[in-house]
Chain A
Amino acid sequence: MSLINKAETDLANARLDRKGLMTRVSEMTLLWKVMSLVIFASAWEIAGRSGFNFSFPAFTETVAAFFEMVVDGSMGSAYLKTMEALVVGLIISLVVGISSGVAMGLRRDVEWITLPVFIVMQAAPMAALIPLVTFVYGIGLTSKVIAVVMLAMPVIAINSYKAVRNVSPSMVSMCHSFMGSRRQQIIQIILPASSSMMFAGLRLGIAEGFSGAVLAELLITPTGIGDLITYHRSVANFAHMYATIASIVIFAIVTVGSLQWVENILFRPETRSS
């Protein structure tokens, strides 16, 4: 079994500097990723051309439709419209989420009253509330922002809370032993120490935020990206519809992925959360 070989290679890798060619090739993760993408695109192309479903476009068709929309500006303006709700919602989620998370982490009484609410919000299908919100606040930007906040804030708050709780007590004691005030303990020790885990929570929250923005578009009223999707679906421009959906998915993944990259650079490996 390969795990036995893993033990063997770990033993070897622990004491050598040069690796053989085959080892280096098999470790080139970029190569594997590219191969994986190529296989995916080819499978898509074949499936599309096979005509198994009249509404399933081939890969090349979808890419062409995407560029068409970029060129005629519809893609750009759609994104701008959708980003409104997303950005506003995320800013609110971050500010409120991080501050409540930190407050919960620092004070037991705040934790008692607030944490259960966030736990419920994170585990429960908050999407069900979106139609209700629309009911009360209409179909405008407000409802969409609320949708984003409802999905993004709980995970940010809980992660910030956990980050603060995870700070090593001995580090705080150390600050205390050098006559640091509570304020200094918070600013000098707790906030820096919890920043990497908080950043991870931020990353998760942003992923949820995208989900909220898309749901808002599809459930409340389509503007921006949602508009493009529903319009092209209604006129059976399936390639365009798929292209739009793929673009928002890719955009979300790239954003979250670059946050991961930033996270890896900003925070030294030894303090990085997994």
Chain B
Amino acid sequence: MRIFGYRIPMMASLLVWLVIWEFIGQFELVLLFPPFTEVLSALGDVTTSHSFAGAMQVTATSYVGGLLLAIAVGIPMGFLMGLVPAADKMLNMWVNTFLSAPLSALVPVFMILFGLGTPTVIVTVFMFAVWIIVLDTRAGVLGITPSLLEMSYSFKASKAERLKIILLASLPEILAGLRLGMIRGVKGVVIGQLLVSIIGVGALFQLYQQNFQMAHFWALIVILFTIALTLAGIVGRIEKRIEYYAGARN
């Protein structure tokens, strides 16, 4: 997009939208959107409030916990499916099932099994994130050119060394899966807390809703959205740094 010959980056259009938001809010055109400036000022209120710190802690703990679990289970499972055809045939069905299933429907089950607290949210994050990690890891492993493995075998590399080569060769796909897993994980941590509703940001949202504090509600949403996008951006950066060798694979 060019104005007067100057190239404007795409994300700058978001600023235009913020202006539009302000406009809509000030003139009360759509009830859903209070003026953006109100939301900005509510930000201060929200972040300094007593319950915010607690809510963020719950969110952070469950998110990190669930995600680490997803990585610890997902990457090895992806490896297993990529290297052992029998495992692939058995598990492929489940991975694809859970990828397209409405996982939110399973949260009531988690609530019964794990109680109305952080464990349920951790499990939710895990279930949201793990499947794409498995799928992409598997794709990475399957995509390795056989000659690279033959080469390591021909130089009598140990099993550990060969595993290391498999890991490095499929790293671009693994990181892509990780990025998508992290995004899904954020959705999971929010949905989990919304459904459990008495903890973390779920409780905060309830509070703002009950007190008709729309600007505060939006402020919390903006915070969550920013966190989600920043995380995605960070992993995206890491992906870019190893991108150089993704193309040189034969």
Contact = CB atoms under 8 A, between A and B. Distances in A.
On whether A and B touch (CB less than 8 Å), the answer reads yes
Interface of A: 1-4, 6-7, 10, 26, 29, 32-33, 35-37, 39-40, 53, 55-56, 108-109, 111-117, 120, 123-137, 203-204, 207, 210-211, 213-215, 218-219, 229, 233, 238, 241-242, 245, 248-249, 252-253, 256-257
Nearest to A249: B101
A192 B29 CA distance: 39
Contacts of B228: 123-125
Contacts of A129: 221
B195 interface: yes
Interface string B201-238: 10001100100101001101100110011001000000
Contacts of B105: 214, 245, 248-249
Is chain A's binding surface mostly helix, strand, loop or mixed?
helix
Nearest to A54: B112
B61 interface: no
Contact of B90 (A35, A53, A131): A35
A214 B104 contact: yes
B16 interface: yes
Nearest to A122: B183
Nearest to A230: B108
A3 B14 CA distance: 47
- The 8 tightest CB contacts between A and B, nearest first, are A7-B146, A112-B1, A125-B190, A32-B89, A211-B102, A124-B225, A210-B102, A207-B100
Nearest to A207: B100
A215 B102 CA distance: 9
B14 A132 contact: no
Contacts of A233: 108, 112
A241 B217 CA distance: 32
A2 B1 CA distance: 50
A210 B102 CA distance: 6
A36 B91 CA distance: 8
Interface residues of B, number: 62
A212 to B, nearest CB: 8
Given A32-B89, A120-B229, A132-B217, A3 B113 contact: no
B232 A132 contact: no
B1 A135 contact: no
Given A207-B102, A257-B100, 5 more contacts: A26-B89, A37-B93, A55-B112, A132-B218, A219-B195
Nearest to B33: A136
B153 interface: yes
B90 A36 contact: yes
Nearest to A129: B221
A36 B220 CA distance: 43
B160 interface: no
A129 B224 CA distance: 11
Nearest to B139: A274
Residue in A3, A111, A132, A233 whose Cβ sees the most chain B Cβ within 10 Å:
A3
Contacts of A35: 90
A1 B228 CA distance: 39
